[in-house]
């Protein structure tokens, strides 16, 4: 096992820089998720760590070795891809054994490792099948098995669950989490899915346009997003943003409504309100003109606008609720759950 250190890492294709001075330390045994929208540089960063892309400048270390110049095969990593990349003409056993065979590992040792791993993954009954005789979930397990038998210092996962249906994804991500904790292997996992990232990661590195927006635990990102981007990306439904003016511990919305809070801020800000933090309150200062309701069973989503403005607002209300289509509902929010951001830079104001 090993920690991974990324130091001032830059990637450029020709004149175009796609990763900008990325820093980060992944601790021994930790599972870090690199998450962000399509095109933000996640795969490029993972492929650089794997040795499949060159480093333009900066340094990647695994354990105490700088690996910039090492071939992928010499980095002691194993990668799991979204398309499984299994050899179709080989059995499950042969697929799992292949990497060990080309490393000239003793045959009885290969058998021992393959069978032990097959037991961990509960795929022993399928060892003699070909990949096409397996379901998607079973194939994904074989792909993981092939990584595990190698007993590497580091696992790299590149969107490994994208090809599975929604239910299986939820099941497999729990399995990956349990397996990673059991094996204790330092892991980096790439996904664009923030829910997957939140449930899997010890910590999340949020990338946006090739920049690290924030690197922290799921709860740190949810409770204290450092930028408007992270605030809007983490959490479902997404945080609401409304323009406001801060003055003497009071926030004034565009429709004139006043909310207590925002001590320490002054001038124009962006106010972030999580849908689940708005409490129904007849006399509350946040007045929402009802648009439509989405009844999800356990809770109801109200989609509306701040009364007298075009600011769209989503509220998550526990249980069932309904109102006339043109009704106005009042909400309040506790001052410690307000998120304030600089209107210009998008950076968090205060703690
Ligand atoms: P993600 O995995 O987050 O979707 P990528 O790492 O694949 O993003 O890509 C990051 C950026 O780098 C994108 O703007 C993409 O167009 C660009 N890019 C990726 N590979 C190449 C390449 N071989 N040549 C030029 N640009 C590339």
- pLDDT for 89-112, tens place per residue? 999 999 999 989 988 899 999 999
Can you read off the two tokens belonging to residue 249? 């511990």
Q: Ligand 1 mean position to 81 CA, how many Å?
A: 17
For ligand 1, atom 6, the nearest C-alpha belongs to 41
For ligand 1, atom 26, the nearest C-alpha belongs to 13
Nearby residues of 243 by Cβ (< 8 Å), 6 or more positions away: 253, 254, 268, 269, 270, 271, 311, 343
User: How far, CA to CA in Å, does 324 sit from each of 3, 19, 289, 315?
Assistant: 57, 50, 10, 16
For ligand 1, atom 27, the nearest C-alpha belongs to 13
Tokens 């920049």 appear where? Answer: 211
Q: Ligand 1 mean position to 208 CA, how many Å?
A: 12
Can you read off the two tokens belonging to residue 269? 């800000």
Identify the CATH class of 237-342.
Answer: mainly beta
For ligand 1, atom 16, the nearest C-alpha belongs to 39
Strand partners, 294: 301
Alpha carbons 216 and 230: distance in angstroms, whole number: 11
Could you give the count of Cα atoms lying within 13 Å of 27 in the half-sphere of its Cβ?
8
Region of residue 264 (left: phi > 0; alpha: psi -120 to 50; beta: else): left
Q: Are 33 and 233 in contact (CB under 8 A)?
A: no
- Asked whether this chain's domains 4-226 and 237-342 adopt the same fold, the reply is no
For ligand 1, atom 15, the nearest C-alpha belongs to 39
- Backbone φ and ψ for 63, nearest 5 degrees, come out as 65, -135
Q: pLDDT per residue over 22-54, tens digit each?
A: 999 999 999 999 999 999 999 999 999 999 999
Alpha carbons 59 and 164: distance in angstroms, whole number: 35
Ligand 1 pocket check for 38: Cβ under 6 Å: yes
Can you read off the two tokens belonging to residue 209? 């346009």
Edge-to-edge order in the sheet of strand 250-253: 258-260, 250-253, 240-247, 267-273, 339-342
Q: Which atom of ligand 1 is nearest to the CA of 44?
A: 6
Give residue limits of the domains in the chain: 4-226, 237-342
Mutate to test the pocket of ligand 1, among 44, 47, 159, 188 (most ligand atoms within 8 A of CB): 44
Q: Are 206 and 229 in contact (CB under 8 A)?
A: yes
Q: What is the pLDDT of residue 25?
A: 97
Alpha carbons 281 and 298: distance in angstroms, whole number: 20
Alpha carbons 329 and 341: distance in angstroms, whole number: 26
From first to last of its 351 residues, the chain has per-residue pLDDT tens of: 799 999 999 999 999 999 999 999 999 999 999 999 999 999 999 999 999 999 999 999 999 999 999 999 899 999 888 776 789 999 999 999 998 998 889 999 999 999 999 988 888 999 999 999 998 888 888 988 898 898 899 999 999 888 778 888 888 888 889 889 988 999 999 999 999 999 999 999 999 999 999 999 999 999 999 999 999 999 999 999 999 999 988 999 999 999 998 888 899 999 999 999 999 999 999 999 999 999 999 999 999 999 999 999 999 999 998 888 779 999 999 999 999 999 999 999 987
Tokens 């450029």 appear where? Answer: 12
Q: Are 251 and 259 in contact (CB under 8 A)?
A: yes
Q: Which atom of ligand 1 is nearest to the CA of 40?
A: 3
User: How far, CA to CA in Å, does 77 sit from each of 50, 68, 153, 155, 200?
Assistant: 7, 14, 6, 6, 20
Classified as helix, coil or strand, 211 is: strand
Ligand 1 pocket check for 39: Cβ under 6 Å: yes
Q: Which atom of ligand 1 is nearest to the CA of 13?
A: 25
Burial class (CB in 10 A: 0-12, 13-18, 19+), 102: exposed
Of 270, 236, 265, 237, the closest CA to residue 253 belongs to 270
Cis peptide before 237 (omega within 30 of 0): yes
Bridge pairing between strands 31-35 and 186-191? parallel
Q: Ligand 1 mean position to 162 CA, how many Å?
A: 18
Q: Ligand 1 mean position to 118 CA, how many Å?
A: 35
CATH of domain 4-226: 3.40.50.300
Q: Ligand 1 mean position to 62 CA, how many Å?
A: 24
């Amino acid at each position: 096992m090993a920690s991974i250190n990324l130091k001032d890492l830059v990637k450029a294709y020709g004149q175009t820089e796609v990763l900008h001075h990325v820093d980060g330390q992944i601790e021994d045994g930790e599972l870090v998720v690199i998450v962000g929208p399509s095109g933000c540089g996640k795969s490029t960063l993972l492929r650089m760590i794997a040795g499949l892309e060159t480093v333009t400048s900066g340094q990647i270390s695994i354990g105490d070795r700088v690996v910039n110049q090492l071939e992928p095969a010499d980095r002691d990593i194993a990668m799991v891809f979204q398309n499984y990349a299994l050899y179709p003409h080989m059995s499950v056993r042969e697929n799992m054994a292949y990497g060990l065979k080309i490393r000239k590992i003793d045959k009885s040792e290969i058998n021992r490792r393959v069978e032990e791993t097959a037991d961990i993954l509960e795929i022993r009954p399928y060892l003699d099948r070909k990949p096409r005789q397996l379901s998607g979930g079973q194939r994904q397990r074989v792909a993981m098995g092939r990584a595990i038998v190698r007993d590497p210092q580091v696992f790299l996962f590149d969107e490994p669950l994208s090809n599975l249906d929604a239910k299986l994804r939820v099941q497999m991500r729990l399995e990956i989490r349990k397996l990673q904790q059991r094996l204790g292997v330092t892991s980096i996992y790439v996904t664009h899915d923030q829910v997957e990232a939140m449930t899997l990661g010890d910590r999340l590195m949020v990338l946006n346009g090739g920049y690290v927006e924030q690197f922290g635990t799921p709860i740190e990102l949810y409770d204290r997003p450092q930028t408007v981007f992270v605030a809007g990306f983490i959490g479902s439904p997404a945080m609401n943003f409304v323009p406001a003016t801060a003055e003497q511990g009071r926030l004034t919305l565009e429709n004139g409504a006043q909310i207590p809070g925002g001590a320490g801020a002054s001038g124009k800000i962006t106010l972030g309100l999580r849908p689940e933090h708005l409490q129904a309150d007849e006399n509350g200062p946040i007045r929402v003109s009802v648009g439509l309701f989405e009844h999800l069973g356990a809770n109801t989503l109200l989609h509306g606008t701040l009364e007298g403005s075009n600011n769209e607002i989503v509220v998550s209300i526990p249980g069932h609720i309904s109102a006339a289509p043109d009704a106005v509902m009042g909400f309040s929010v506790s001052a410690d759950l307000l998120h304030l951001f600089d209107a210009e830079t998008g950076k968090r104001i205060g703690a």
